[in-house]
Amino acid sequence: MRHSFVSQSAIGGLSAHADQDGLADWYGQIAGHPPVALVHGEPTAMTALAERLQRDYQTPVIQPIFGECLDLTHPISQRPTHED
């Protein structure tokens, strides 16, 4: 199974803390607004970006905990919670 990933370096080195507007605008140009997993950054900046993407684009956004494995065969919207 193939998966496509976009790394921070692939988007011109934008930073969630320094350029949240740029990241949100860049993401807004992606057709279909796919789910997002935020895996690196300051917790408050990541939470603010997650809330903005959810509010502006109704995008499923997760922030996995350290060491957590993501099953990319299931959409993020169907991801089990930690309480399951």
Tens of pLDDT along 48-57?
A: 999 999 999 9
Question: What is the residue extent of each domain of the chain?
Answer: 8-78
Tens of pLDDT along 8-50?
A: 434 555 555 557 888 898 899 999 998 888 888 888 988 999 9
Predicted confidence (pLDDT) at residue 62 exceeds the cutoff of 70: yes
**Which residues in 28-56 are b (16+ Cβ under 10 Å) and which e?**
eeeeeeeebbbeebeeeebeebbebbeee
